[in-house]
């Protein structure tokens, strides 16, 4: 028998095999396409790509700018940081009752009660201090959390979760170098993507803020470039004082922990946040800080007031109700900073705006205006008291359907189906 390459019919058989293989691939692809496009199939393709939500961990303020300036916008629900729970060890049978009580409160989300129980245990069990620090962090008492977690690190130097939580607590308090030290110590124990990201952020912020000054009030710490922003720091502090009173009165909430506000040049803002150059401001849920690109002049005070009120509203809403839907977040932030809705020329079903906003600029603009109109309609028809009830139920852990039904007498899905923006057809 001759060799294959000497067989005159071999080339024809090989060509037929290739043809059959290509035919098989074509049929397989056709089946896949049919499956994806057949009626009733659940698939993301059923939603236009422009309406798919994005989920960065920060909020970027919508600027008053032409639509073309929003081309790269990605707005999404901020991802809540899953705080690591430090290890803890019982030290004897006599601690069992207190231990079980503390753990029960913790699992139920009753952090003040859990904190009190862990504090009682700390006298004989130093390992419970890490869990006390966790409770303080969940309660937003980050300055106290730092002290507990530093004590826990001394008692548990090999506990990765303690060091990770301490790194975030120090970051919240703007103790950047100390936070970086804890990040590096934790990464030496265990690789962790969240800490690797935090390490990059810290290195950038340390570099940018190395010569920054600060100005403090009882409720705010403002960090700024003394050369660029010395002439505007007083205006910023005055606006923040007004925002604390005005937004606090509207939401009936006045934080007792100081909030950090960082003023950047446009370049530094872009370098640190990676937000587009046109962005008006940013609130970070993980670090709890407001960041703004600010020109060193008081001539822009109106826009500065608008952005600070907007971002401060986000900051309070994230503290009040972490599960707040994005349309309510954005709508209320715009409403309380003085924006009023205008016709956007298109309608996006509100349920699509619960967890994210479109990236496409015109759809994003429509999402903003629709959210503002929805909040305006709710407030004009039912008042702020009902909205407080909605936020309270969301804060208690109720889902949106239940919380909305409690506040407004019908589930959110039913109301959203019948609601139409009053200005959409104008």
pLDDT at residue 267 in the model: 84
Residue 185: its pLDDT value, please? 97
- The reported pLDDT for the residue numbered 113 is 95
Does residue 377 contact residue 331 with C-beta atoms inside 8 Å? no
User: What is the pLDDT at residue 326?
Assistant: 95
Distance CA(53)–CA(121), nearest Å, equals 45
pTM as predicted:
0.75
pLDDT (tens place) for every residue of the chain, 426 residues total: 443 333 334 344 444 444 444 444 343 333 332 233 333 333 322 222 233 233 335 666 654 543 322 223 333 333 456 788 887 766 655 567 888 889 999 999 899 999 999 998 888 888 899 999 999 999 889 999 999 999 999 988 999 999 999 999 999 998 999 999 999 999 999 999 999 999 999 999 999 998 889 999 999 999 988 777 777 888 899 999 999 999 999 999 999 889 999 998 888 888 888 876 567 888 988 888 999 988 755 557 888 999 999 999 999 999 999 889 999 999 999 999 999 988 777 789 999 999 988 888 888 888 999 999 999 999 999 999 999 999 999 998 899 999 999 999 999 999 999 998 765 444
Tens of pLDDT, residues 295-332:
755 557 888 999 999 999 999 999 999 889 999 999 99
How many residues would you count in the chain? 426
What's the CATH architecture for 58-62+216-314? 3-Layer(aba) Sandwich (3.40)
**Per-residue pLDDT, 343:** 78
Beta strands 220-224 and 259-264 are parallel
Query: Which candidate, 399, 397, 331, places its Cα nearest to that of 369?
Result: 331
| Spatial distance between the Cα atoms of 187 and 163, rounded to a whole number of angstroms | 9
**What letter would DSSP give residue 210?**
T
* CA neighbor of 316 nearest in space, from 339, 333, 291: 333
Element spanning 167, H or E = helix 160-172
Q: CA 19, CA 76: separation in Å to the nearest integer? A: 47
pLDDT at 58: 61
From residue 122, how far is each of 97, 104, 114, 210, 277 by CA, in Å? Answer: 14, 17, 12, 38, 49
The Cα–Cα gap between 145 and 129 comes to: 10
pLDDT at 104: 92
Q: What is the pLDDT of residues 60-101, one digit of tens each?
A: 665 454 332 222 333 333 345 678 888 776 665 556 788 888
The Cα–Cα gap between 156 and 207 comes to 31
- Cα dihedral value 312, 317, 318, 321, nearest 10: 170
**pLDDT score at 194:** 93
pLDDT at 89: 67
pLDDT for the residue 44: 27
Query: Helix 128-138 vs helix 160-172: angle between axes, to the nearest 10 degrees?
Result: 30
The answer to whether 311 and 282 are in contact (CB under 8 A) is yes
Domain ranges, ordered by start, for the chain: 58-62+216-314, 93-208, 322-418
Determine the straight-line distance between the first and last CA of the chain, rounded to whole angstroms.
84
Please name the residue ranges forming H helices in 262-300. 266-273
**pLDDT for position 345:** 73
Question: Would you state the CATH architecture of domain 93-208?
Answer: Alpha Horseshoe (1.25)
Please state, in angstroms and rounded to a whole number, the distance separating the CA atoms of residues 424 and 426. 6
Q: Which residues are within 8 A (CB) of 223 and not within 5 positions of it... i.e. 6 or more apart? A: 174, 209, 212, 213, 214, 260, 261, 262, 263
Which residues neighbour 426 within 8 Å (Cβ) at sequence distance 6 or greater? 343
263: helix, strand or coil: strand
Would you call 126 helix, strand, or coil by DSSP?
A: coil
**CA dihedral for 243, 249, 253, 254, sign (positive or negative):** positive
């Amino acid at each position: 028998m001759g060799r294959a390459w000497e067989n005159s019919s071999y080339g024809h058989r090989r060509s037929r095999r290739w043809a059959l293989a290509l035919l098989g691939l074509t049929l397989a692809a056709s089946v896949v396409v049919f499956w994806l496009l057949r009626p009733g199939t659940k698939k993301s393709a059923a939603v236009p790509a422009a309406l798919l939500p994005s989920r960065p961990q920060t909020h970027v303020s919508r600027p008053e700018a032409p639509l073309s300036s929003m081309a790269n916008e990605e707005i999404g629900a901020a991802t809540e940081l899953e705080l690591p729970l430090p290890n803890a060890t019982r030290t004897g049978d006599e601690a069992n009752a207190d231990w079980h009580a503390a753990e029960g409160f913790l699992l139920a989300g009753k952090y003040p009660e859990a904190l009190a129980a862990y504090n009682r245990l700390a006298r004989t069990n130093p390992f419970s201090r890490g869990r006390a620090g966790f409770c303080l962090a969940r309660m937003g008492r980050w300055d106290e959390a730092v002290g507990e977690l530093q004590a826990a690190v001394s008692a548990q130097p090999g506990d990765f979760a303690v060091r990770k939580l301490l790194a975030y607590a120090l970051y919240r308090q703007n103790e950047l170098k100390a936070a970086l030290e804890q990040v590096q110590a934790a990464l030496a124990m265990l690789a962790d993507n969240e800490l690797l990201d935090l390490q990059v952020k810290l290195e950038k912020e340390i570099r940018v803020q190395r010569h920054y000054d600060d100005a403090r009030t009882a409720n705010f710490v403002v960090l700024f470039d003394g050369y660029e922003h010395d002439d505007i720091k007083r205006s910023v502090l005055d606006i923040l004082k007004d925002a604390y009173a005005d937004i606090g009165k509207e939401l009936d909430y006045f934080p007792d922990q100081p909030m950090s506000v960082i003023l950047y040049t446009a370049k530094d803002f872009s370098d640190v946040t990676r937000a587009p150059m046109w962005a008006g401001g940013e609130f970070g849920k993980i670090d709890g800080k407001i960041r703004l690109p600010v020109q060193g002049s008081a001539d822009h005070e109106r826009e500065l007031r608008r952005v600070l009120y907007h971002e401060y509203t986000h900051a309070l809403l994230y503290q009040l109700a972490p599960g707040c839907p994005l349309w309510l977040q954005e709508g209320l932030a715009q409403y309380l900073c003085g924006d009023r809705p205008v016709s956007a020329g298109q309608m996006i079903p509100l349920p699509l705006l619960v967890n994210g906003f479109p990236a496409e600029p015109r759809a994003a603009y429509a999402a903003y205006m629709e959210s503002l109109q929805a909040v305006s309609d709710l407030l004009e028809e039912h008042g702020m008291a009902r909205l407080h009830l909605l936020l309270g139920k969301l804060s208690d852990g109720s889902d949106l359907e239940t919380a909305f039904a409690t506040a407004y007498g019908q589930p959110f899905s039913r109301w959203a189906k019948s609601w139409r923006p009053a200005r959409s057809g104008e």
